[in-house]
Structures are given as C-alpha cells and as structure tokens.
Structure 1
Amino acid sequence: MTATISAPEAHRLLASGAALLIDVREPDEFRARHIPYAASMPLGSLPALLADADLPADRLLIFQCQKGTRGGRACALAEQVVGDRVRNLDGGIEAWAAAGLPVAGAGAPRVSIFRQVQMIVGLLVLAGTLAGLAGFVPGFYAAGFFGFMLAFAGGSGWCGLGMALQRMPWNRVAA
C-alpha cells in the first residue's frame, strides 16, 4: 500500500526542494486549478512519461489528483519504476486548498468535463434502455452504442463528447 502525505508536510518538502509534485489529473482539470509547484502528467500517459522522464533520484515524488484516488494509482505505477520514494497527497488538491495552501489556475467549471460526460452518457444509456423495454428495440442498440463509446473513450483517451463540451460557453475558463 502506498504511503500518503499530508498537504502541510508536502508543502514543507516542496518548498525546501526535497520533493517533486506530479499532478495526474487531466489537462483541463490542471488548467482550471492546480498547485503551483506541480508538473502535469495525466494518469493515462504516466507509464510512458515515467519511462522517458529524467526524475531526480534524490527527491521524493508526490503524486496528486482531485481527492486522492488517481494519485494512489499513480503511486502504484511509479513504485515499479522508482521504488518506494513515492507518496500520495492525502485528499488531493481539495485537501491542499482546504489547508489554505496556494492554488493557481483559470478557474474551474462548476461540474468537470469528465462528470458532464458521465452524466450525459448515463442518461443516454438509460433512455435507450427504457425505450427498448417499452418495445422500441432500436433503443437497446442505442444504449449499447453509447456504452461502447464510453468504454472506447476510457480505453483510448479520446472523447468526442468531452471535446465538444469543452467548447460550450458554460465550460469556458477565463484567460
């Protein structure tokens, strides 16, 4: 199990130069709000980035996400490459901000793009399933299609709906 580190302790280590902070959230999440010390390495790209990165051998690697779950997965991946000098920021950026530590960014949409995609596709699958149960058989095909596309987005990292949602006025972040 990966060790965690509190936000104040992580801040102390980062300020002293004893640690490196890696944000494993998606690029739109990072742009919206991030910890000033953080380097952006999205979780989906992390194995390739870790293999290619010239990580300092004398510094602790602290992984951070929104609440801590993705950070824990990143730690598990990183331990295979760098050993036990990894920590997960306990509570992620939310705990960091709650501790009164500095955050930067252009501001976040009220609901993340990721969650918007989940809500829309979930409702489309539900509607297709209900239509199928009501006797409109193509509804089952539509539900299957949307389920497949959600799985494809998760596996490939490409999500057309997410890209379209980024362009919507309610998701634009101030420059």
Structure 2
Amino acid sequence: MSSTTTPRFSPRELAARVESGQISIIDVREPMEYVGGHIPGSQNIPLSRLGSTSLPEGPLVLVCQSGKRSEKGLATLLREGHPHPLADLEGGMGAWQQAGLPMKRRQGAPLPLMRQVQIAAGSLVLLGVILSQTLAPGWIWLAGFVGAGLTFAGVSGFCGMARLLAVMPWNRVQA
C-alpha cells in the first residue's frame, strides 16, 4: 500500500470527523509552526520524530502546512506497518485555514518563519539601498547579496536565512 492510495480528507470532511470523535490528528510540523496555529485537539509530533514516538490507537490523520510532510509521514508509517487506518488532510493547514475552520494558536507564538525571512530580507535590501545612496555606493552589494541568496533559496529549496532565523531565541518553543 502506498501513500497515493491513502485516503485524503478535505478540510470540511476532516472537521466533521473531528466533531464525531472518530479520529486522532497528528500534526507533523515543527513545534514553532504548531504553536502558530493548529487544529484544536491535534497532537504535535514533528516528522523527524514520527517513527520513534508512540501514536494514539485508532485511525490517524496526518497534517502539515501544505501536505508534503504529511505525505512523507504516511509513507514512513506505512513502511513500518502501522496497524491502524491512516489518512491525510488535502491541502494541509493552508486549506484548513482557507476553509475558515477553527484554529488554536498559542499566545505569544513567534511569527511564521517565512514572514520573518521576508521582513529580514526586505529590511536588508532597503538598508543596502539607503546606505548606498547616503554613505557609499558599495553598500548596494548588500542588496545584491540578499537578492542572490533569495534566488538560490528559490532554486535549491535551501534558505540559509530561514535556517538561521529558526534557531534564534525568539523561535524556541517549549512543548
């Protein structure tokens, strides 16, 4: 059985099943993402710990931001011979939020990492332009460096700025 034959629930279908108490939801995102907004009653088990953590009995639905990590999690559990029915949330938390369904957010949760990257990158580009016009023309290279980094991140899928921001003290989340 592969993850492509695993059922995928629409946000509304999942909400109905949650209300009826038929399933357990496992959110495979990182703790920082989870505290920023999750389905009420879901349990946070990051993808990296999914195979080594005990899971609730009964049917499970895996959830992530877009559906890619939950798909990987399903594949891991299927490979390990998970004994209970498994499913996935179609479109992830983005679709859940777009459907206007309830979310629980921890007070004081950090901004989503992508927004932090946008704020930092935009600020550095703006700073480089301003400094190049007021102090020395060479400061324009700061804007060029950030632009090159963003281009590399888009092409490769690796964002050094996101990795750096993720380990900052304000992004540490206690379980």
State if a TM-score over 0.5 links the two structures: yes
Q: What fraction of aligned residue pairs are identical, expressed as a percent? A: 30
Moved >2 Å (runs of 4+): 110-116, 159-162
The TM-score, its normalising length taken from structure 1, stands at: 0.62
User: Which of 21, 38, 43 is the aligned partner of 2:42?
Assistant: 38
Alignment-derived partner of residue 76 in structure 2:
77
Would you say how many aligned residue pairs link Structure 1 and Structure 2?
Answer: 133
* CA-atom RMSD in angstroms: 3.4
CA shift at 1:123, angstroms?
2.2
CA shift at 1:84, angstroms?
6.4
The TM-score, its normalising length taken from structure 2, stands at: 0.62
Alignment-derived partner of residue 109 in structure 1:
111
Amino acid at match of 1:112: M
Q: Is the 8 A contact 1:24 1:42 kept in 2?
A: yes
Structure 2: 5+ residue stretches without partners: 122-145, 153-157
Amino acid at match of 2:56: L
Amino acid at match of 2:149: L
CA shift at 1:5, angstroms?
1.1
User: Which of 7, 15, 24 is the aligned partner of 1:3?
Assistant: 7
- C-alpha distance in structure 2 between counterparts of 1:172 and 1:113, whole Å: 16
- C-alpha distance in structure 1 between counterparts of 2:55 and 2:172, whole Å: 34
Structure 1: 5+ residue stretches without partners: 127-146, 151-158
Q: Is the 8 A contact 1:114 1:162 kept in 2?
A: no
CA shift at 1:83, angstroms?
4.4
